[in-house]
Structure 1
Amino acid sequence: MSLSHQQKVYIPKEARTNQYITAEIKVTDELLNQYPDYHSCYQTLSRIIFNLAEQHDLRNVHVITNDKLPVVRYHTEAYCFQTAEQILFFYNPAYHEAQNLFTADNYRARKLRIVFLATGDEIRSNSANFHTRVQEFLNQLMPKLPIKDLKVKIRDHQHLSYDLFAKSKGNKETYGYKLRAIAPRYKARKCELPENVSSLTYVTVSLPLSRKLKQGLLPESATDFSPLYQHLEDNFLKAAANKQLTRLAMIANGLTPLVRNSKFEKLDSKAEVQMIGFDPNATEQQVIRRWDADNLVEAAHFTIVAGAKDCDDAGYGRFMNNVEAALKSFAAEIGLDPEREDLVIRFHQHISYLL
């Protein structure tokens, strides 16, 4: 295989792209003291934010003051669901627009979080422009706040998702992606980032635990589910090792995995979210396993994280080709049917920094 071919990954044309940016502002006593109560604070600030967003042509913007975690996914219809700890946004960037304030009565937020969902077409190629508009928005927002010198934590999330088995289902058309890191992509498009940027790239796959999978490995009326979980873990680790993929996680405890850079982030898992941290610069193997033999869950979640050597100027093509090969081997070992079952790969690129 030629070097240029290794540096590209051929992804189905039907692949979906998402981008969203969050801006987090710590809620301090000094900030709250400028208003009669929490409600007045959040309502006043959200009106300022929404009016300014209109001026910057940011069309899908949400303010969260109940400390719930935003989760963004593509969908042909727009939905927004709240759980105890999460707010799930489902939308199509091509035509969904919205403004919402998510708050709770008499609740003091730890942080005010602004969520900007990318809109329009060609999300990936326009990602730098979207980030620049958010930066300009924030530079104009901060002087309008009653407290000066507030710090803003920016997180830029980009997803590329597709079915690993698309070709087996007759979707033959592909597009060759030379997946580049966010920083050089943005620099080439005149979007300036500070020097101290934390970045992380990883792939996630959610595997529904089908009746076929369970019947093949568990006796009837089983109460010990370790044979199922151990089988999945062993085959996942084996397939990854064959492709020299060493930063791995299997989560099958009913929680939603949230991936962070362990060097920069404090990792506290909650009732709904399993925090998992990786250091992309570390050379030793990093494997995280979280499953309970007494608890049969609906899906197992697998994560493969790119290391620093996977993130050079040549892009992530070699990394993604190894990921695809490993996942196809894993799928074959556990008996998935490519023509009838989906295995959706979600390629994540994430950066964060203080503005």
Structure 2
Amino acid sequence: MALNHLQKVYIPKDVRSNQYITAEILVTDALLAHYPDYKTCYQTLSRTIFKLAEQHELNNVHVITNDKLPVVRFHTEAYAFPTAEQIIFFYNPKFHEAQTLHTKDDYRARKIRIVFLATGEDIRSNSANFHIKVQSFLSTLMPLLPEKELKVKIRDHQHLSYDLFAKAKGNKESYGYKLRSISNRYQARECPLPEGHGSLCYVTVKLPLGRKLKNALLAADTDDFTPLYQKLEDSFIAATSAKQLKQVAMVANGLTPLIRNSKYDQVDGTDEVQMLGFDPHVEEQQYVRHWDGSRLVDMVSFTIAAEVKDSKDGGLGRYLNRVEEALKGFISEFEFDKSREDLIVRFHQHISYQAPAQLLGQ
């Protein structure tokens, strides 16, 4: 009983659950040769995709043909916010549905991204069924395309997000989660995943640099913000090391952190995105830092990645408990009003794989 208790993490009942799946189809000369121009290609394919998605009860689907990176966040209103490199989707899974093509007519895409946003309730418990629907959709779609043997990369993203200090605000109710890896959950629900699929679990937290925090750590009228960042870095490393959390990152350069499994994915940065690569199979310390003492940002992002051993035998619950303890120890060193300020913990689980030929009907 005691061991079972340790494997659980108690999360506020108002936790938000989210899931989205992307299918990335590599664009080839052979595929484009079937259409008079890029615009016709994108519009024709999107019509086929949207019609087929409706048949598979996939109710919130976006097609991206401008190579922008999809980012998904919860919001009470639904809208897509484009930047130079990203499309940020805000939506509430309980209410919002969509079919949208995001395109640029005279642009040759490197890949066509189909983004499936989970809808309805009980997102986490229905995640395997959602993945099965997407697999079924792809097995039907690919034989309909004019070019065969196209490569498709599938990425499944799942999040739990909640305020670490919800109890300090009077939100006392919580629910005990016995977290399991995606592969274990899917196996139990007969959702097949290919051998050798990539997986990654991690937590992200964004700490606002408020007035009290800056005044406590910086001299007045200074243009050197190194003491602020160095104190945050030192405290973060000390707090995570005390809980044997070895794969961590701190980003304070104004860019959006994007975490990938460095064993499978390239981790080059861009003008908007700071790529962070972790290999969960590596047991040594992996610390990544990106900050500049000459530049003050509004928000500092912290990442704590799980090791492979954390995903085994109910270890994810213990991992997230250690993360929470580390974050509470870290925050205790600074001016932070727990009863008024939110510290949103986002627990991410990702898997990715190259779709096998049999799944694509090839």
Q: TM-score range by the shorter chain?
A: over 0.9
Q: Secondary structure at the match of 2:147?
A: coil
Task: Find the counterpart in structure 2 of residue 40 from structure 1.
Answer: 40
Supply the distance in 2 between the matched residues of 1:106 and 1:142 (Cα, whole angstroms): 24
1:269-295 alpha-carbon deviations (Å, 9 max, x no partner) = 000000000010101100000000111
Deviation of the 1:313 alpha carbon: 2.9
Q: Secondary structure at the match of 1:195?
A: coil
Residue 207 of structure 2 corresponds to residue 207 of structure 1 = yes
Task: Find the counterpart in structure 2 of residue 87 from structure 1.
Answer: 87
Task: Find the counterpart in structure 2 of residue 243 from structure 1.
Answer: 243
Supply the distance in 2 between the matched residues of 1:345 and 1:204 (Cα, whole angstroms): 6
Trace 1:1-355 onto structure 2 (pairs within 5 A): 2-355=2-355
Gaps of 5+ in 1: none
1:198-234 alpha-carbon deviations (Å, 9 max, x no partner) = 0000000011111111111112221111011011111
Supply the distance in 2 between the matched residues of 1:252 and 1:295 (Cα, whole angstroms): 9
Supply the distance in 2 between the matched residues of 1:277 and 1:180 (Cα, whole angstroms): 22
Gaps of 5+ in 2: 356-362
Calculate percent identity across the aligned residue pairs. Answer: 68
Supply the distance in 1 between the matched residues of 2:196 and 2:51 (Cα, whole angstroms): 31
The answer to whether the 8 Å contact 1:12/1:166 transfers is yes
The answer to whether the 8 Å contact 1:158/1:348 transfers is yes
Deviation of the 1:77 alpha carbon: 1.1
Q: Secondary structure at the match of 1:142?
A: helix
Q: How many residues align?
A: 355
Q: Secondary structure at the match of 1:175?
A: strand
Deviation of the 1:196 alpha carbon: 1.7
Supply the distance in 1 between the matched residues of 2:8 and 2:167 (Cα, whole angstroms): 17
Q: Which residue type is aligned with residue 22 of structure 2? A: T
Deviation of the 1:101 alpha carbon: 0.4
Supply the distance in 1 between the matched residues of 2:339 and 2:247 (Cα, whole angstroms): 29
1:77-110 alpha-carbon deviations (Å, 9 max, x no partner) = 1121000000000100001000100011310100
TM-score by length of 1: 0.99
Q: Secondary structure at the match of 2:300?
A: strand
The answer to whether the 8 Å contact 1:232/1:334 transfers is no
Deviation of the 1:331 alpha carbon: 0.8
1:290-329 alpha-carbon deviations (Å, 9 max, x no partner) = 0001111110000000001101031411100000000001
Supply the distance in 1 between the matched residues of 2:61 and 2:132 (Cα, whole angstroms): 15
The answer to whether the 8 Å contact 1:153/1:354 transfers is yes
Deviation of the 1:340 alpha carbon: 1.2
Supply the distance in 1 between the matched residues of 2:40 and 2:61 (Cα, whole angstroms): 20
Supply the distance in 2 between the matched residues of 1:270 and 1:131 (Cα, whole angstroms): 30
1:246-276 alpha-carbon deviations (Å, 9 max, x no partner) = 0000000000000000111011100000000
Supply the distance in 2 between the matched residues of 1:244 and 1:188 (Cα, whole angstroms): 30
The answer to whether the 8 Å contact 1:156/1:350 transfers is yes
Deviation of the 1:52 alpha carbon: 0.2
Q: Secondary structure at the match of 2:332?
A: helix
The answer to whether the 8 Å contact 1:203/1:347 transfers is yes
1:19-75 alpha-carbon deviations (Å, 9 max, x no partner) = 000000001111111100000000000000000000001000000000000000111
> Deviating runs (4+, > 6 A) in structure 1?
none
Supply the distance in 2 between the matched residues of 1:227 and 1:340 (Cα, whole angstroms): 26
Supply the distance in 2 between the matched residues of 1:290 and 1:30 (Cα, whole angstroms): 41
The answer to whether the 8 Å contact 1:128/1:191 transfers is yes
The answer to whether the 8 Å contact 1:240/1:246 transfers is yes
